[in-house]
Structure 1
Amino acid sequence: MTATPMRGVFAVSTTPFSSDGTQDLDMYGRSVERVLEAGVDGLLALGATGEALALDEAEREAQIRHLVEVVDGRVPVVVGCMAYRPEDMSAMISSSARWGASAAMVTPSFYGGLGAGDAVAALTPVLERSELPVLVYNNPHSTGTDLLPEDLVALLEHDSMWAVKETSGEATRVRELRAALGTDVQIFVGADGLALEGFTQGASGWVAASAWLTPARCVDLWAAAASGDWSRAVSLWDGLAGPLGQIESDPAFISLIKRALGELGLPQGPVRTPLPTATDEAVSALVDTLKSLGDRH
């Protein structure tokens, strides 16, 4: 369905909120320009990091319309379309297409304890009806369903099947996905702590919440790996692994990213309840680590 492959680093956005609890779309636009300036290859909005499940339909529409306007065709825009019912996912995809999105991201229906076969069966009509290329997000930690390579093969018959975001944490999964799905489907690393490992196994890129926080470092790492400069990639990874570990080990990681950005001059506001708020100590430690890197952004 995509004329040219969409690859590289896709920054996963937060949703900035003002002090009165409404979306801060002006700050959102500034944050988007920052990651675009750093050279990211795409944006992913309304994922878990974007607190998508805490937004209503009007807020979703306002955010995506603003994002599409700010991006103005410079990079692809992927919209998270996660829902329990397949028909709700399809409705979200249709809305996202109408608002100007380039692609959609879906997950297996969460909370239902679906086996992989049932999850694929639920996703099948979504891909059949989709008006956009689809990124299937394998996130067993959140959905309770681990889509193995052999499960995802069944979705290849649908033209809308564009990519997989792999976040199981299994060290060899990217290689296994590449072997099972071939080269027509893009495989993105979704577990930030395994980014370099995924790149060595033939990943198409990186869908990264960390790229919203430290985009230049993420872009540089991908560029080194994509060009085969593994010595430079390992050197960059040695610096980046520290802050990624701080983020991934914190259950309040969404708040941690938002608060750290605030300390760096891009206030994102609080997270919406019931998400937890990062501690002052965690924020201070992460900001100190980022500053020690001498990041160019």
Structure 2
Amino acid sequence: MKDIEESHARLKGIFNITVTPFTADGAIDKAGIARSVERVIGLGYDGLLIGGTYGEFPVMDAAERADLFRHVMDVVADRVPVMLCSADSDPRVVRDLTVLAGDLGGLPMVTAPYVSEITDEQIVAFFKDMAPLSKTGILVYNAPGIGITLSPDVLERLADTPGAVGIKQGDLSVAAIDRIANRLGGRLRLFCASDLAFLGPMMAGFDGISSTNSCALPELILDTYRALERGDAATARDLHKLWYDFRALARRHGQPQTTKAAMNLRGFDGGSVRLPLRDVPAEAKAEIAAVLKTLAGLPEAKLKLAA
């Protein structure tokens, strides 16, 4: 993407939240992530999110993250739009990665600073400082799980920020989704940040979904989204129900650990996690394998297990 206008035009649909595969000794498996990128592009996903929370950016240093950005953007070659997470606890790192992400043709995804007792005024000022640094604009990530929950009031103020292209909304409370969809829809691109709340935000008028589970179940989740896209809510609901047991395991054993384990069981490039996360134990892998086997027996899921 070359500018803010192109970012806004292309930022819609279903985006795969691509996990970062690490080898057992902690190195980034570049060949593995390239294969993951090719898989989801080949299936018809609309875009990618690289180096996000489930991409384990907090356990990578700035140089590793920059290298990951460059590698993936070379692989993608502008075939689909790419969100590149430039969030960090150090604003200097955010600045550098935001500039780089825009220069590479990606859309930098920025969270609020991780500072206790920061005011709304300071949060808004931070985003206004970051937005002009990227020629493609920025995506505001409202990520309660890793930092500060941005209220609908703050998000409305950020909607007027030059360079703000969209919001990836992790606060999935009904009131917040309703207000954002009805007051910010059409002004910013709106993305749901969770596989759990797949259906509601899209029915309310969001522009897209970002999915971590799609690394492990790419066929099923793509079909679910396409059903929603064509207005077939009943089919989307029924397909979404099919992978409830997988979502339940992810809540119990953690993300991205569960998704990576499922990817490995399918012969995909999940790799390992980095400390402080730990790969799921053998008994959890057995539970995940059982869920995958059940899904593979359902024709509508379209899953094939590794031989």
Common fold: TM-score over 0.5: yes
CA contact (8 A) 1:45 1:78 kept: yes
Moved over 4 A (4+): none
Deviations 1:186-211 (A, max 9, x none): 11111221111212111111111112
In structure 1, the residue matched to 2:186 is: 183
In structure 2, the residue matched to 1:137 is: 141
Give the alignment's TM-score, normalised by structure 2: 0.89
Q: Quick one: distance in 2 between partners of 1:276 and 1:113?
A: 31
In structure 2, the residue matched to 1:296 is: 302
Structure 2: where are the runs of 5+ without partners?
A: none
Q: Quick one: distance in 2 between partners of 1:105 and 1:88?
A: 13
Q: Quick one: distance in 2 between partners of 1:270 and 1:76?
A: 26
SS in 1 for 2:268: coil
One-letter amino acid of the structure 1 residue matched with residue 140 of structure 2: V
2:205 equivalent to 1:202: yes
CA contact (8 A) 1:90 1:129 kept: yes
Q: Quick one: distance in 2 between partners of 1:290 and 1:173?
A: 34
Distance 1:256 1:65, change over 3 A: same
The structure 2 residue matched to 1:26, chosen from 31, 41, 65, is 31
Post-superposition shift, 1:94? 1.0
Q: Quick one: distance in 1 between partners of 2:171 and 2:282?
A: 29
Give the alignment's TM-score, normalised by structure 1: 0.91
Post-superposition shift, 1:111? 4.7
Q: Quick one: distance in 2 between partners of 1:255 and 1:14?
A: 10
Q: Quick one: distance in 1 between partners of 2:255 and 2:237?
A: 25
Post-superposition shift, 1:85? 3.9
One-letter amino acid of the structure 1 residue matched with residue 178 of structure 2: R
One-letter amino acid of the structure 2 residue matched with residue 141 of structure 1: G
In structure 1, the residue matched to 2:110 is: 106
Post-superposition shift, 1:18? 2.3
The structure 1 residue matched to 2:234, chosen from 205, 209, 231, is 231
Identical aligned residues as a percent: 27
Deviation larger for 192-201 or 119-128: 119-128
In structure 1, the residue matched to 2:286 is: 284
CA contact (8 A) 2:249 2:258 kept: no
Structure 1: where are the runs of 5+ without partners?
A: none
CA contact (8 A) 1:90 1:130 kept: no
Q: Quick one: distance in 1 between partners of 2:53 and 2:75?
A: 22
SS in 2 for 1:2: helix
One-letter amino acid of the structure 1 residue matched with residue 224 of structure 2: L
Q: Quick one: distance in 2 between partners of 1:113 and 1:9?
A: 35
C-alpha RMSD of the superposition: 1.9
> 5 Å matches for 1:53-202?
53-98=58-103, 100-143=104-147, 145-202=148-205
Deviation larger for 259-268 or 222-231: 259-268
Distance 1:244 1:101, change over 3 A: farther
Deviations 1:18-64 (A, max 9, x none): 23321111111111111112221111011111111222233223322
